[in-house]
Amino acid sequence: MVSRLLVVLALAHAALARVSPNFSNCLGYFYASTPPVGFSTSLTPICQMYENNNNPFFASLYHKSNRYALYSAYILDRKPTDTTGASQTFRLEPQLVDTRLPQQMLLQPDTETSIRNIGLAGTPADLIKQTQAINSDYTGSSYHKGHLNPNADHPSGPNQQATYTLTNVAPMFGNLNSGAWQNNEKRVRDIATSCGKMYVITGVVPGNNWISVNGVQRVNIPSHIWSAYCCLDNNSKPMRAEAALAANNANSVQVLSVTSLQSQLKSLMGSTVTLFKNNCI
Residue pLDDT, tens place only, 245-267: 999 999 999 999 999 999 999 99
Model confidence, pTM = 0.92
Q: Is the pLDDT of residue 8 over 80?
A: no
Q: 3-state DSSP call for residue 176?
A: helix
Q: 3-state DSSP call for residue 100?
A: coil
Q: Is the pLDDT of residue 6 over 60?
A: no
Q: Superfamily assignment of 20-94+133-280 in CATH?
A: Extracellular Endonuclease, subunit A (3.40.570.10)
Helices 124-131 + 108-117 axis angle, to 10: 110
Q: 116 near 128, Cβ under 8 Å?
A: no
DSSP 33-55: G---BSS-TTSEEEEE-BTT-SS
Report the alpha-carbon distance of residue 204 to residue 43 in Å, rounded: 14
Cβ neighbours of 256 (radius 10 Å): 17
Report the alpha-carbon distance of residue 253 to residue 235 in Å, rounded: 31
Residue pLDDT, tens place only, 115-172: 999 999 999 999 999 999 999 999 999 999 999 999 999 999 999 999 999 999 999 9
Residue pLDDT, tens place only, 24-65: 999 999 999 999 999 998 999 999 999 999 999 999 999 999
- Domain locations in the chain as residue ranges: 20-94+133-280
Cβ neighbours of 10 (radius 10 Å): 10
Q: Give the CA radius of gyration of the chain.
A: 19
DSSP 14: H
DSSP strand pairing (216-221 vs 254-256): unpaired
Q: Is the pLDDT of residue 7 over 70?
A: no
